[in-house]
Amino acid sequence: MGNEINLPKIVYVGSDTSYFNDVRVRFKNSYPQVEYKFMPLESSDDYHQTFLQILELKPLIIYVDFSGKGKVRTYLTRLLKREVSTRNIPLVALVEKEEQLKECNATGVDFTHIKCGEISDVVYDPCSLVYTRSVKKPDYARARFVKDAELFEDFRIGYYTASYMRAESNMKYGKGDIVEIETAIPEKVMPSHHFIVRNVQESDLFYDYRYAYDLDYVFVDKPETIDVEGGDAKVVELANQERMDEYKNNLILTKKKVSSWVDDSLSSTAPKTTKILIIDKTMRFFANMDKPIEDYPYGIRCQTELFDLDYLEKIRPNIIAFEFFEIVDEESGDVGKKKAATTTKESGQKSRNAVEQLTLMVKKIKSMQNFSPFIVVFNCHKFNSKSFQDSLQYPTILVDTLTLDMRKVVEFANIYDKKIEKKYEEAIKLKVAQLKKQDPNKYRKLSISDFKDRKFYPKSSSPLSYASCKYVIQLTSMTESELTFVGDPEFEGEQFYLKFPARMHIRIIPGDTGKKFIIEQRRNLYKALIHSVGEEQKKKLRQFVNEIFFTDLNNRKEKEKEEFDKKNQEVLEKLKAAGEVAADIQSSAVTTATDDKKDGPAQS
């Protein structure tokens, strides 16, 4: 038995020991040459503690069971997929109901599986990411075909206004593009599914996507012009005018409906407008939290270390809470003797000391436009606020000698909120005064409330927080575990779903070349693993694949039989022809012999 400390660890968070035992058996059967350490973690409501345990364990694969603790598990998986040291570890979510799939997949997990008797893919999927070239593939029938299909990608909606909505996605669109998006906005409120891209940005994002968009509503689709050949031109013109008049009336009415819908929804949620980034190498602050991190009225992100400085541009936090630390030499135990930069296995990045991290972070911040977050350095005894402000040439950096504590972070956030709110109200008051002075009659009823943002922020669990866009692709092959398809767009995301031949999610994975796609006949060919299917969907999928596979197989057999029969017939005909020739030769020989006998010498 190998050294248990160095054994690859398979972690399971949940209480279904029977199911995890089935997973364990499947691993041992699939990879008998590998010795794993299977580690079930106690199913606790304190997901912060579970998160810290996983950070320490550094597992090969993580399974998180959502059974009975969906909300807590959602928080945990989101933390794991945002933290730099765990985000690349294959993470599999296990659910009992299809209703859990959308919110579960939105946390960024690699795969979601509905717990049932089908367990092969529960092991195969994460192993495909770990053992990219040596994964043991299931021995399933593969159907090869070419069929058009619709591929769907989920968006997240940040907020709605009376004229546009804020969305985030992994698909890159250009300014002015008209896109078709399915939303949960009631059809009776806004019938059109088309939106015009007003603005695109890759910074100041709230969710874990690459792009944010301001999408203007089309409200009502314009009617197509009637053009009847040979028809009465005046009648056609009149019909087109009536359709256009009806469209204009519907447009006015729909704009009013959308505005009322937004106003009626405003009080349902409070936005998390202040964003906080916590950088703590040990994440010890979790131990003293009095509630889940999601329950604070702020958008909070946590990192053990900020390797990717572009992350600052992506989320643009208002407050950065940094836990200062000393590097301890592992052999001598002395502080500061260890090299400033060491490579971490999890991220493959250089780990920097605290001062270096702060220096690079401030340098990045100063290079960004309209960005000057408050930085609070906790647990720092070597330097005070002024020394950092002077050396880094950054005035909004403060030092606290106490360890990083959520209560202190919240205090700073409250101070920041009040300061920003006061500054905003003063600016609005000044604007109102200027307008009233400019035109007293026109702006006599103008007040501060007229400038307040009318934005409806849906809850993250609400259907209104989601939207989807579809693309036309061509499916080229499929098993009950994976598929390949070609598509013109270069998909930047990894997670999509299809409704044919069954409702299923897919995760794009690198092909044998290690690239996300290969070029085949000037089109992008992708490979993807199928997940988020239950037993009924699996049956439909299997039936679809088998019908094509066995039809092809039977067609090949039929063709082979036809070719065999044809060749057999040719051989028989050749043999028959050869037999006839032989018979002719024999007959000719007999005739010749008879004639020779008749014509023999006379007796003397």
User: What is the DSSP annotation of 17-55?
Assistant: HHHHHHHHHHHHHH-TTS--EEEEEP--S-HHHHHHHHH
Average pLDDT, the chain: 88
For tokens 């028959």, name the residue. 576
- The confidence score (pLDDT) of residue 271 equals 82
- The confidence score (pLDDT) of residue 557 equals 62
For tokens 């190998």, name the residue. 2
Q: 113 with 121: CB under 8 angstroms?
A: yes
Q: What is the pLDDT of residues 545-570, one digit of tens each?
A: 999 988 866 666 666 666 766 777 77
Angle subtended by helix axes 385-392 and 354-367, to nearest 10: 50
Percent of the chain with pLDDT over 70: 88
Q: What is the pLDDT of residues 140-186, one digit of tens each?
A: 999 999 999 999 999 999 999 999 999 999 999 999 999 999 999 99
Q: What is the pLDDT of residues 34-88, one digit of tens each?
A: 999 999 997 678 898 999 999 999 999 999 999 988 889 999 999 999 999 999 9
Q: Please tell me the distance from the alpha carbon of residue 125 to that of residue 27, in angstroms, as a whole number.
A: 12
- The confidence score (pLDDT) of residue 604 equals 38
**Omega prior to 223 cis, within 30 of 0:** no
Mean pLDDT value across residues 98-121: 92
Q: pLDDT category, 338, cuts 50, 70, 90?
A: very low
Q: 535 with 118: CB under 8 angstroms?
A: yes
Q: 275-417: what CATH class? A: alpha beta
Enumerate residues 6+ apart whose C-beta is below 8 A from 237.
none
Structure token digits, residue 594: 């008879």
Do 4-130 and 275-417 show the same overall fold?
Answer: yes
Domain 4-130 has CATH 3.20.20.70: no
Q: 276 with 249: CB under 8 angstroms?
A: no
Q: pLDDT category, 584, cuts 50, 70, 90?
A: low
Enumerate residues 6+ apart whose C-beta is below 8 A from 358.
322, 375, 377, 388, 392
Ordered by start, the domain boundaries in the chain are: 4-130, 157-268, 275-417
Q: 363 with 375: CB under 8 angstroms?
A: no
Mean pLDDT value across residues 269-283: 90
